[in-house]
Structure 1
């Protein structure tokens, strides 16, 4: 049990050391990345909504 506690502590210590090495984005970069993600989500949502309407209409035409 004692060794597992030491291993767990070592894991968190090593993780913290790795996080200190990360180059975090600045405010301008973060804003840019956020805008890209939002635009991508909106585009994909519109794409699938249009695709859903088209497939729904095709199914409706076939089943009537």
Structure 2
């Protein structure tokens, strides 16, 4: 049981050392991630539609 409590004590100690982002940084990072995800999704959608068109043209 002391190993478990020691583990959580160490976790709490490490969490205090973490450098958390400020609200402005967090917003900037969130917008960057979401825009990248949307761009990649649209890119793969277009590529998929292109491959589908090529396959339908061949068949």
Report the aligned-residue RMSD: 0.8
Query: Structure 2: any 5+ residue segments left out of the alignment?
Result: none
Name structure 1 gaps, 5 residues minimum. none
CA distance in 2, matches of 1:61, 1:8: 63
* TM-score of the aligned structures, taking structure 1 as reference length: 0.85
TM-score (norm 2): 0.92
Q: Which runs of 4+ in 1 moved over 3 A?
A: none
* Larger Rg computed on CA atoms: 1
1:53 matched to 2:49: yes
